[in-house]
Structures are given as C-alpha cells and as structure tokens.
Structure 1
Amino acid sequence: MTTVQANLTYYQQLNEQIRAIDDSEITVENVIGQRYLGCGSAGRTITIHGTPGNGLGQYLCGSTIEVFGNAQEAVGDTMNQGDIIVHGNVGDACGYGMRGGRIFIEGDCGYRGGIHMKAYEQHFPVIVIGGKAGSFLGEYQAGGLILVLGREQDGAYPAGNFCGTGMHGGKIVLRCDKAPTGLPPQVLVSPASQADLDGITPYLEEYCRHFGGDAATLLAQQYYVLSPHPEAGYHQLYTYES
C-alpha cells in the first residue's frame, strides 16, 4: 500500500501523483478539498482521510473509493462501475447521471441526489443514503435504485421537496412510517412488497457492514416505493417509448 499526503498540494498535481502510482492500494491522507480524486479509476482501492472536493470518483470504472469524512458535490458523477463509500455526509448532485456502480453514504445527501441516473444492460446503479436527502431526489431518474434509510429521523419522511420530479424509470425506496404525500404527478407511491424488500436486502446488509447497524432490524420497518407514473411523465423529453 502506498500513502500520499495531500495537505496543500494543488488538486491537479495531487491527481497526477496518484495516477502515477503503480500500487493498487492507495491511501490519501490530510485531504482538504482537492477535487476529482479517483476520476476514471479502475482496479484500485483508494482510501481517503479528510474532505475531498467536488467530483470525487467521476467516471469511476471499477475502483473502490472509501472516504473517512464528508465529501462535497457531484460524488460519483457519471460513474460506470465500482463502489464509493462515504463515512459522513455528501453534498449536492451525488450520483449525477451515474450509469452503474454503488454509492453508500453513512449520513445525509444534499439536493438533487441521483439526478438523471440510469441503468443500461448489465449496469445497475445504486445509491444508499443512511440519513435524509435534500429536495429533488431522483430528479429525471431513468433507472437504478435510490434507497433512503432515514436513520435518526424517527420514522419521518426522509427526503425534501419535489422528490422524483420527472422520473421515468427506476425506483426510490424510502424508510418512513407513513406514505409520502404531496409528491410530483410523475410519481406513484406504494408500500414495499416482499419482492421490493428482497431486492433491497443485499444493499441494507452492505450498508450495515460498512457503517454498523442491524440489517434485519432495519428491514423489519416500513418502506415505501416511489415509481414512475406512466401517464404523467414528461413524454416530450423522452426518446424511447415502451
């Protein structure tokens, strides 16, 4: 394993240094806002201590990035495969346009998490948010899964306003005591079925493996599924009709 000290190193030089390392296991310490760490990376395990800046893991192609701290905006932007694990909170637009891979967030997510995320052939993107999410979660979602566990929310609705606006694929699963109301017309809401619960179980177990908690206890609570309303979508924006 190779260890790199970020400190005050400019983000461009830091990324060049990381890319030049032959080792497949890299630890980056004392990160203080450097951007684009791990962009396009494949076949590596990158451990980050500190607060990475915007664009962590953009276009990720199979590496695992684990952050011990918070992360800023656009985590996993347009990522293809791999895992991003954040022991903290993330900023806005997490998973923007992601096409595959998984993002696990111990705490909260800012606005527009999962905007434009999509699935393609064998690629299936997943975002798991342990706390709550800001407004416009899953905006224009076209595929994949967003799972919001609402830990520390005492059963309250764990997302902000306009959840699922314009969604036309995929699903959002929320852990809360009552069915959400006031959702955009593009969204249908229903209690999670057994098949839905079976589908989220592996991600719950993975979340608990990273951050602690008991998956069985979480799974035993109430979940609601948000899915696209086929009769109320923004059809003029779509290029495909089933």
Structure 2
Amino acid sequence: MTSIEVKQNQDTACVNLHGVYYRELNTRLAELVNQGVRSLELNNACGQRYIGTSLKGDLKITINGTPGNDLGAFMDGPSITVNGNVQDCCGNTLNNGCIVVHGHGGDIFGMSARGGKLFVRDYVGYRAGIHMKAYQDKKPSLVIGNTAQDFLGEYMAGGVLVVLGLGLGENETHKANFIGTGMHGGVIYMSGKVEEHQLGKEVAIAELDETDWKTLRPLIDEFALHFGYNAEEIAARPFYKLYPKYLRPYGRMYAY
C-alpha cells in the first residue's frame, strides 16, 4: 500500500495523489472529511476513479491533474474544480453541488444527473447529458463551452443542457449526430450550426423566448465567471432550443 502524503491544517488538507491507488485514496478522503476538513487540494491526479463519490455538505475540492472515471458520482453538495481534463462519467447521478472543469470532458459527461451544476470549458465526448432528469425543485444544469460528440442529450428526461459552440468557426456545423435521441423532457440550448438530420426524431427546434433567456442567461454568466469569458459576447451569439415533441415517445412499445 502506497503511503499518502497529506499536509493538514485545521479544516484544510493538501494531498499528493502521485502513485496512490484509488481505493486507498477515497478511503483517506472520507476520513479527512469526517475529521472536519472542508477544503481539499488534490495534486498530481492521474486517473484515480470515484473522487468525491457520495460526499456531502459544504466541501470544496480542487484537483490538479486528470482524475479518472466517475468524478463526483452521487455527490450531494460539495464543489469540485478541476484544473485539467476529466475522464468518462463525470458527475454520474450528481444530486447537488457543482463541478467545474478547466479543460475537456470524456464520454457520458453528466450521466443521469438529477441536480447540481456542471461546467466544462472545452468539449466533451459521446452521450453527454444522457438521461439527465429533474424532480420537484431539483433541476440539473450542464454547460459545455465548445461542442460534443454523438448522442448529446440522449434519453434526456429533465434539466438544462447548454452547448455554447465557442470553438466553432464561423458557419461551422456541430459534429454531433443523433442529438436528443429518445429525449422526453428538459431542454437543450445550442449556439452554432446544426442541421435537421443531426437531430433525433423525437426533437423539435425553436427560437428562444423570454422564459428561455431567464433560464439560459444566468448559466452563461456563471460559465463566463468560471472561465474568464465575456458573458455579453456569449449572450449575443445566436441560440436556438431543442425540446421533446412527446413526453412518452416510447410509451406505445411497452406492455402494461
């Protein structure tokens, strides 16, 4: 078992992740939180999985490096800032809290998120926002600064998914196909060109109204604050919304 280097000062701890196995790491992080640590700085992250899984309460985690799969899974309250890229399934079933990624995201980013906020500065992989959902006062938000790959918003059941397209050139088309396939709830706001054939058959497209902007603009402002962008310039871009045509597109396929 590798010894974990921890520098602790009252409610703050700095942890060196170099060469540390993920199970040992997450056990140690839980111990630190139980001891009252409320600020964690994790350095030299290199693929360690499940960081932040199921952690609760007022906790701030800063990660320098590249954490592994399922970062912040089932998290309920803490905030995570990643100075680097993240791997697959970041924010899996996020319940509450915030994850901010100063880099790229892997596949199934925000999978089944049911609350909280996720911001990624650059692009994400396949199936981002798959099966996002909302319940009562919980409504997850996922904001992508650049673009995404195929099956964006697949089976989306609730929440808000925003794709800003900031890395696209003038008149450049998003590369994703099958956008919103199986979508039956929530809304996707996009900037950047998308053709009709790129959308799932369950998805309709429309211009934004005043209610949409009340939802979208605060997320643009927060994205700009996290990553040093000009919110006014982003908000001035042309946006459109994608929404589900039907609440139960596959209802007729099931037996009761």
TM-score with structure 2 setting the length: 0.89
| Distance in 2 of aligned mates of 1:236 and 1:28 | 49
Q: How does 1:20-169 map to 2 (within 5 A)?
A: 20-21=31-32, 22-43=36-57, 44-155=59-170, 156-158=172-174, 160-169=176-185
SS at match of 1:204: helix
1:179–1:189 Cα contact (<8 Å) kept: no
CA offsets 1:159-194 (integer angstroms, 9 cap, x no match): 501000000000111012x45311221000012223
2:203 is matched with: 187
2:54–2:72 Cα contact (<8 Å) kept: yes
For structure 1, the residue ranges without an aligned partner over 5 or more in a row are none
- Deviation of the 1:231 alpha carbon: 8.1
1:131–1:158 Cα contact (<8 Å) kept: no
CA offsets 1:97-144 (integer angstroms, 9 cap, x no match): 110000000000100001011000010000000010110000000000
SS at match of 2:196: coil
Provide the identity percentage.
40
2:17 is matched with: 6
| Distance in 1 of aligned mates of 2:250 and 2:180 | 12
1:25–1:46 Cα contact (<8 Å) kept: yes
| Distance in 1 of aligned mates of 2:86 and 2:241 | 27
Change (3 A) 1:32 1:238: farther
1:40–1:60 Cα contact (<8 Å) kept: yes
- Deviation of the 1:236 alpha carbon: 3.7
For structure 2, the residue ranges without an aligned partner over 5 or more in a row are 1-11
- Deviation of the 1:238 alpha carbon: 7.8
| Distance in 2 of aligned mates of 1:75 and 1:207 | 17
- Deviation of the 1:232 alpha carbon: 8.3
CA RMSD between the two structures: 1.6
Report which stretch shifted further, 135-144 or 192-201: 192-201
2:3 is matched with: none
2:7 is matched with: none
CA offsets 1:27-47 (integer angstroms, 9 cap, x no match): 000001000000011121110
2:74–2:95 Cα contact (<8 Å) kept: yes
Structure 2 counterpart of 1:97, one-letter code: S
1:68–1:87 Cα contact (<8 Å) kept: yes
Change (3 A) 1:238 1:208: farther
TM-score with structure 1 setting the length: 0.94
Q: 2:30 aligns with which of 4, 19, 34?
A: 19
Change (3 A) 1:187 1:102: same
Structure 2 counterpart of 1:152, one-letter code: G
1:208 is matched with: 224
- Deviation of the 1:225 alpha carbon: 0.3
- Deviation of the 1:220 alpha carbon: 1.2
2:69–2:88 Cα contact (<8 Å) kept: yes
Structure 2 counterpart of 1:57, one-letter code: G
